[in-house]
Amino acid sequence: QKKIGVLAVQGAFAEHIRVLQKLDVHCIEIRKKADLESSSLNGLVLPGGESTVMGKLLRELELFDPIKKQIDDGLPVLGTCAGLILLAEEIAEYDTVHLGNMHIMARRNAYGRQSGSFQTEQKFAQCGKIPMVFIRAPYIESVDTHVEILAKVNHHIVAARQENIVVTSFHPELTDDLTVHKYFLNIVHQK
Ligand code: GLN
């Protein structure tokens, strides 16, 4: 059974765990450095929430460096919404960068702060249409040439992959559709 860590310091981690348990993986809540060290993970999920708060907690809890390094070393990671922002090498109109492993530019609150929540259906990778829930979501403004675009909504990139890193600006953990998590677990199983 594969071991998937879910960053559990803030945000929608419980929902990811609920989905992953349906897919028969062993979930480990990552709240402190020891949680990372005590288990050799096969994958990691960075959930949605508030990227500023999560970025701050990552640093305070000394999770920042080990997580950044493990991702650079090839650990499969799924970042959703705020998780996408944490992974972006650049954040439009912000000087802050968090983990920054992925060669994309993210735009925070790209659909507006208040009324920026909506649901739609669109194609994801080769998997056909899936439901997509957006909550004060970012989108991806630009990607490097080696980044694969997995989904677009209204011409904006909302999901992408760079080798071991998969990001979505929507919340796949808030619907019953398992496509995105299955796609991620495929990468985990190929490692
Ligand atoms: N707007 C949030 C941020 O910038 C992300 C929202 C979410 O994760 N649902 O961190």
**Residue 139: its H or E element:** strand 139-143
Output the CA 1–ligand 1 centroid distance in Å: 31
Q: How far is CA 71 from CA 50, 66, 77, 116, 157, in A?
A: 21, 9, 7, 30, 22
Contacts of 17 (CB under 8 A, 6+ apart): 6, 27, 29
Q: Between 13-22 and 179-190, two packed helices, what is the crossing angle to 10 degrees?
A: 70
Strand partners, 91: 106
Residue 191 has pLDDT above 90, yes or no: no
Is 171 a catalytic site residue?
Answer: yes
Mean pLDDT, the chain, rounded, equals 96
pTM exceeds 0.80 for this model: yes
Using one digit for the tens of pLDDT, what is the confidence trace for 122-148? 999 999 999 999 999 999 999 999 999
Residue 50 annotated as part of some ligand binding site: yes
How far does residue 113's CA lie from ligand 1's centre (Å)? 9
* Count of domains observed in the chain: 1
Percent helix, percent strand, percent coil in the chain, to nearest 5:
30, 30, 40
Own/partner pairs, 24-28, CB within 8 angstroms, 24+ separation: 25/1, 25/185, 25/188, 26/1, 26/2, 28/3, 28/4
Structure tokens that stand for 83 in this block: 């998780």
- Does the annotation count 127 as an active-site position? no
CATH number of the domain that 56 lies in?
3.40.50.880
Instruction: Name the active-site residue from 15, 16, 27, 173.
Output: 173
**27 counts as catalytic:** no
Domain that includes residue 36, residue range: 3-190
* Ligand 1 pocket mutation pick from 98, 109, 139 by most atoms within 8 angstroms of CB: 109
Q: What percent of the chain has pLDDT over 90?
A: 94
Residue 180 has pLDDT above 80, yes or no: yes
Q: What is the phi/psi pair of residue 33, to 5°?
A: -55, -40
CB atoms closer than 10 angstroms to residue 144: 12
CA of 47 to the centre of ligand 1 (A): 10
Residue type at 63 in one-letter notation: L
Q: Is 49 annotated as a binding residue?
A: yes
pLDDT of residue 153: 97
